[in-house]
Chain A
Amino acid sequence: MLHVENLVCRYGKIEAVSGISLDVGEGQIVALVGANGAGKSSTIQSIAGHVLGAEGRITLAGEDITALPPRERVRKGVAIAPEGRRLFRDLTVHENLSMGGFCRPREREAANLKRVLDLFPRLAERIHSRAENLSGGEQQMVTIGRAMMSEPRLLLIDELSLGLMPKNVDLCYEAILRLKREGLSILVVEQNTTKALQVADHAYVLSSGRLIWKGTAAEARDDPSVIQAYIGSSAH
């Protein structure tokens, strides 16, 4: 579904990502792990089109999307649940979710909303609450739900479990496993390596902007020293 080739991103003179290549197959979950500052978020933001001047080649289902602006990538099927959630704080849950379907015909909104509320029944109870009044877990559900409203083929999730209670982390991971079963391709950036490897098919490890290990998640799970050796104490 997604093929990234030799991705480079720079912020001024600092090279945050140095020639990373990765693949996400159809209906797969791929984990991108690494310590703080490894270049994970820059990679995912580049795929979504939010890093100006990113170099390399990005293809989605064989189509080159490298030169497309973010809104066109959303239309092509790339959705992002960003780090920090970035919800529209003054809008309600319903409005935030509707906003997620901005680039899709309005007549499909009801069906997409139903799908999201099936995925996160908790949101149905909070549908008229303002986003700023939600708990961290609920906000993360809205963030993923908002991304799902755009009918993505590829879902990018940045720091899925950051700041969430374990119960909510489990709820979110259950949801993405369900989405995977429905055929969605998912690239998840995580510092919670253990959790990410439990659900992922493949894993990539980044350090200082470079790809230092790749393989199946099972390989990493069977030999935790693989990950521990690369990202040390941040693996938990």
Chain B
Amino acid sequence: MSAYVLSIVSLVGINIILALGLHLISGLCGQVSLGHAAFYGVGAYTTALLAKAGYPIGLTLPAAMAAAAVAGFVVGLCSLRVREDFLAIATMAAGFIFLGVVKQNEALGGEIGISGIAMPSFGRDGFVALELGVTVLVILFCLHVRRSWLGFGFSAVADDDVAAQMVGVDNRAYKLTAFCIGTALAGLAGGFLAYYLRGVSPDAFGFTASISVLCMVVLGGMQSIAGCIIATTILTLMPEVLRFADNYKLLIFGALLFLTMRFLPDGLGGLFALARRKEAGPS
């Protein structure tokens, strides 16, 4: 496989991990987040700093997840106080705060970021294999969560948090858990990105990145893991296949969000469900 193809496959894997993190928070647990890229950034910067200090990937990635989860916990605390559009604004603000802190901090490379991160000792092919293996594990984990009691609780909170409380769900704990797991996955994706790019820069974690990942989740269908994976793959490959589209990324993502909300509110996952129902026949 050529280096180019490996690179694209690797990027698809990173974006799938990132999007599944948001899928857990917004899709499964119903907590709107417009600042997901901030946690992606926390993971990337944590990895970059530790990798530059000579720590191995076996330590940098878990540290990236932990740092992002802690940040997610703090933002998740907001979700206990605010709902829906207010939560969206609060998470968006978290994204801006992250950018503000990073850009003003020389220890984090300021506007330029951090470069010169060494590839892990097992080389590029080994890194891609590791990353794809982890992506598969993350997909399996998300499928497991969805079918577990935890996922059941997330769904209840997303559907009607008052009713969830009435059947004994601890809303606070479930919302915080969703934020912690989802942001830890964003941190993991950020960690892989730091190795993939051999560096990090703040612009990769701005509002545009948050909207891009939101677009992947919404187009895939807020309730569908398969839809999320397919949409992420399509949207990651799109700029590669349609080179000219890269310059119009924001325009295309915005239009996609609008069109999905207008004509396909359940996203690709909704289409799959409809196809399954048609196949099963009238009930």
Contacts and interface: CB of A to CB of B under 8 A. Distances in A.
B162 A100 contact: no
Interface string B131-174: 00000000000000000010011011001101111111110000
Contacts of B162: 50, 86
Given A87-B163, A128-B283, 9 more contacts: A71-B168, A74-B166, A86-B160, A86-B166, A88-B155, A88-B160, A91-B155, A149-B167, A150-B167
Interface of A: 48, 50, 69-71, 74-75, 80, 82, 86-91, 95, 98-100, 102-103, 106, 128-129, 146, 149-150
A102 B156 contact: yes
A168 to B, nearest CB: 21
Contacts of A129: 283
Contacts of B167: 74, 99-100, 102-103, 146, 149-150
A88 B168 contact: no
Nearest to B171: A71
Given A82-B166, A86-B163, A99 B156 contact: yes
Contacts, number: 61
A80 B164 CA distance: 12
11 contacts: A50-B165, A70-B165, A71-B169, A82-B166, A90-B159, A90-B223, A91-B155, A102-B152, A102-B169, A150-B167, A150-B168
Nearest to B163: A86
Contacts of A86: 160, 162-163, 166
A91 B167 CA distance: 14
Q: Give the interface centre of A70, A74, A75, A150 by most chain B CB atoms within 10 Å.
A: A70
Nearest to A98: B152
How many of chain B's residues touch chain A, expressed as a range? Answer: 10 to 19
A48 B159 contact: no
Interface of B: 149, 152-153, 155-156, 159-160, 162-170, 223, 283
A71 B166 CA distance: 7
Contact of B168 (A89, A103, A128): A103
B283 A82 contact: no
Contacts of B160: 86-89
A124 to B, nearest CB: 14
Given A70-B168, A71-B169, A103-B168, A82 B163 contact: yes
Nearest to A86: B163
Contacts of A80: 166
Nearest to B149: A106
Contact of A70 (B152, B159, B166): B166
A147 to B, nearest CB: 8
Contacts of A70: 165-166, 168
Contacts of B156: 88, 91, 99, 102
A176 B84 CA distance: 37
Contacts of B163: 82, 86-88
B159 A91 contact: yes
A146 B223 CA distance: 23
A50 B167 CA distance: 12
Nearest to A128: B283
Contacts of B170: 69, 71
Contacts of A48: 166
B283 A71 contact: no
A103 B168 CA distance: 6
A74 to B, nearest CB: 4
A95 B156 CA distance: 10
Contacts of B164: 99
Q: Give the interface centre of B153, B163, B166 by most chain A CB atoms within 10 Å.
A: B166
Nearest to B169: A102
A209 to B, nearest CB: 22
Contacts of A150: 167-168
A102 B164 CA distance: 9
A70 B167 CA distance: 8
A170 B215 CA distance: 49
A90 B160 CA distance: 10
A103 B165 CA distance: 11
